[in-house]
Amino acid sequence: MAMRPRRSVLYIPGDNPRALDKARGLPADSIIIDLEDSVAPTNKEAARAGALDAIREGGYGSREIILRVNPIETPWGMSDLHAAVGAAPDAILVPKVSQPGDITGTAKVLKAVDAAPNIRLWAMIETPLGIINAREIAACGPDPENRLSCFVLGTNDLLKESRARSSNQRFAVVPWLAMTLVAARAYGLDVIDGVYNDFKDDLGFRAECEHGRTLGMDGKTLIHPSQVQPCNSVFSPTDEEVAWAFKIIKAFEEPENARKGVITVDGKMVERLHLVMARRVAAIANAINARSRAEEPWF
Ligand code: COA
Ligand code: MG
């Protein structure tokens, strides 16, 4: 099973060449080069040009590259999309997705300009309508024409739109995260948690990573280099989880268990659904190990 870890997903403003360069040496699994919220209206064209230069220049190794464009109805949206098609990142992140049409419409534009079929679409879920319609949006996933593969939570926008607070262990935010997560999983999508703004608060950040991991998130979006390493560590399977996964896989490989649906391992009931989970943990651990053995010594 091929698996792509998406533990750490770092935003970089497209108009910040120093940060774009720095990312070439950071252990982030994925980077989102941003043309939207982190770029002022006066800098949109410069950011687009800077993003294209960075992607063209390369040097990001095995990191997945995602380009976040402006909404299609803004003065920059369509030019961003055409530029993205030319640069051919791994994915285009569509902001403020509120209904399935935001994805199917973007996919149609990509088709019309013969975009490379391997460019995926990621969707920002960050509006009240996006939460309400998360299931219908996620349902675009199985049709390959729609290219949809991942949801990204935009918690800052959700807090703004809802007038809620982020305090108290994200009490107000958790229902939105949970709704988005089950919608995504129902249609086989990945989901990445929102950002933690207070990037100097290491303890608070780590606690929020754990919180997202417990909810089932695949990873977390990040805003600063200092967040990458702790995030990778929280979203990697632990040594105990990996050992347990391999134990389950091995147990079901025993000839006497070949036809059994349920067995006992270390005194615990283990079903074939646990085998499926174990294979996933093993695949992620293998993918992470493969990267740390690769030419990138900082992993
Ligand atoms: N990606 C890569 N490198 C980054 C970075 C990022 N997101 N944020 C900062 N850096 C780099 C800086 O360029 C600097 O590099 P240097 O050592 O070569 O000078 C180094 O990390 C230290 O940066 P620091 O001085 O601590 O931060 P800052 O004051 O320059 O920037 C922010 C702080 C929050 C403005 C900046 O981190 C940022 O723009 N983050 C992303 C915001 C974003 O994209 N938001 C949209 C989604 S919510
Ligand atoms: Mg936003």
Query: Mind listing the pLDDT tens digit for each residue in 171-193?
Result: 999 999 999 999 999 999 999 99
Which ligand lies nearest the alpha carbon of 222? Answer: 1
User: How many whole angstroms from 248 Cα to the centroid of ligand 1?
Assistant: 42
Q: Are 13 and 47 in contact (CB under 8 A)?
A: yes
Q: Are 275 and 251 in contact (CB under 8 A)?
A: no
Whose Cα sits closest to atom 19 in ligand 1?
A: 18
Q: Which domains does the chain have, with CATH numbers?
A: 8-235 (3.20.20.60), 239-291 (no CATH)
If you count them, how many residues does the chain have?
299
* pTM, rounded to two decimals: 0.96
The letter for the amino acid at 14 is G
Whose Cα sits closest to atom 8 in ligand 1?
A: 224
> For residue 292, what pLDDT band results from cuts at 50, 70 and 90?
confident
The token duo for 195 is: 């950002």
Q: Are strands 219-222 and 190-193 parallel, antiparallel or unpaired?
A: parallel
User: How many whole angstroms from 165 Cα to the centroid of ligand 1?
Assistant: 24
Query: Mind listing the pLDDT tens digit for each residue in 33-66?
Result: 999 999 999 999 999 999 999 999 999 999 999 9
Nearest in space to 13 (alpha carbons), one of 43, 27, 28, 42: 43
DSSP of 149-182: EEEEE-HHHHHHHHT---HHHHTTTHHHHHHHHH
Cβ 43 under 6 angstroms from ligand 1: no
User: How many whole angstroms from 42 Cα to the centroid of ligand 1?
Assistant: 20
* C-alpha to C-alpha distances, 19 to 26, 94, 155, nearest whole angstrom: 10, 22, 23
Whose Cα sits closest to atom 26 in ligand 1?
A: 224
Nearest in space to 131 (alpha carbons), one of 164, 88, 83, 106: 164
Nearest in space to 70 (alpha carbons), one of 44, 52, 98, 89: 44
Helical pair 239-253 and 272-293, crossing angle rounded to 10 deg: 130
